[in-house]
Amino acid sequence: MTEPQAFFERISENHFSPTEHTRGPWDADSQHAGPPAALLGRAVEERPGAREDMRLARVTYEIVRPVPIRPLEMTTTVLRSGRSVELVEAALAPEGGAPVMFARALRIRTLEEPGPAVASGPQVPSPGETAETPFFAVPWEVGYHTSMDTRFTEGTFREQGPGTCWMRMRMPLVAGEEIRPLDRVLVAADSGNGISNVLDFRRHVFVNADLTVHLHRHPVGEWVCVEARTSVDPAGIGLADARLHDEKGPIGRSAQSLFISPR
């Protein structure tokens, strides 16, 4: 049977089977956090009763343990519901097991009539101005590293220091389903600490225990840019902070708390 060209297959309304395209660079049995982050974000938006006049403004992920490449069950719960703001929690768990990743999403009501638009932040060179940038060496042929088109305008995966990288999904998040704007940004946002690595991956372990994404607007087009900077304290705690862009300009930012130690 041919492996579907998507990150997940939908087994039923709330059950999903990850494909090998979700595989992260560190463990052959675990996913990169980007695809499950996007899946959780989609669950928040497509849950029964979700209001169409609201849009995700902030989502915080707690990564309890590595997300395995095996069938997963999704649950969603509305924690707070108001006229203009709601808070929704989504959880992803292996079938019959405890949740491995949570998302708490803040959704805000959009205006019926357009209001004033104010955005700040520098423009970054477009993805068309640079060639595709190779990933760092990964021990397996297929995974997240082959399922994303990556183009750096500053730095590379193989250089230490700040990095700016345009990213594009090569395939849908869920087989047979259209890619949504939120899929594009959430599948890329977890890559900030890899884009802006400041220590040698061969000598240090970088583990992000969380991810927070703020969006003042959803992306348009196929490309999302992660303009990332990483700071590390001698105690082994770090922060990867990133501006997020599409080809029209800034859309928000992301942040990851990092645990760093020698290998």
What pLDDT, on a 0 to 100 scale, did the predictor assign at position 4?
67
Between CA 209 and CA 102 the distance in angstroms is 11
| pLDDT score, position 260 | 87
Query: Using CA atoms, how far apart are residues 160 and 170, in angstroms rounded to an integer?
Result: 26
User: What's the pLDDT at 18?
Assistant: 97
Residue 2: predicted pLDDT: 55
Which residues of the chain are under the pLDDT cut of 50?
1
Q: What is the pLDDT of residue 58?
A: 98
| pLDDT for res 3 | 59
